[in-house]
Structure formats: structure tokens, C-alpha cells
Amino acid sequence: MIHEYWGIPIVVGAVIFALGIGLIIWGAKEGRNYYDSLVSRFDLREFFSRWPLRPEPGALKTGGWIAIVLGIIIAGFGGLLYWLNK
């Protein structure tokens, strides 16, 4: 019975992997936009001292890497199911 459903984890893993790639790109874009907007301001204290901390771009990148790892693990589980039920 389980041999019929090996494709589901592969598809779910691929979707989570793609979501991780998207989060990393979004985090990089968000960080670049934030720091580029600070360059045009007269008061650059926040830009140079990095205070107050803005964790959003870093959090997006970290979440992206976690999603990539989970996507690979889930897709690998689906591949293992396919391999075991050949």
C-alpha cells in the first residue's frame, strides 16, 4: 500500500526546497533594500553601528536554509520509499 505514495514526499520536499530558495532570495533583497535606503539618509548612525538590530533579513535567510534542509530530507525519504518498493 505504501508503495503507491512515494511521489508525495518527493513533491512536498521539492516545494519546501523551492520555498527555502525563495526565502533566501527574499532575505537578501530585504537586507539590500534596507541598507541602501539608509545610505540616502543624513543620520547614518544606525547604518554604521548596526543598532538597533534588524533581524528580519537574517531571519528570512536562516528560515530559508532550514527549509532547504527539510526539503532535502523529505524528498530523500520519498526517494528511499521509491527505491525500497521497486
Residue 31 domain-assigned (yes or no): yes
Residue 1 domain-assigned (yes or no): no
Segment 75-80 long-range contacts (CB within 8 Å, at least 24 positions apart): 75/9, 75/10, 75/12, 75/13, 75/14, 75/17, 76/13, 77/9, 77/13, 78/6, 78/7, 78/8, 78/9, 78/10, 78/11, 78/12, 78/13, 79/6, 79/10
**pTM value > 0.85:** no
Range(s) of the domain holding residue 45: 9-84
Higher local confidence (pLDDT), 72 or 33: 72
Residue 56 domain-assigned (yes or no): yes
What confidence tens digit (pLDDT) does each residue in 13-34 have? 999 999 999 999 998 888 887 7
Residue 47 domain-assigned (yes or no): yes
Residue 4 domain-assigned (yes or no): no
What confidence tens digit (pLDDT) does each residue in 43-61 have? 666 666 666 666 677 888 9
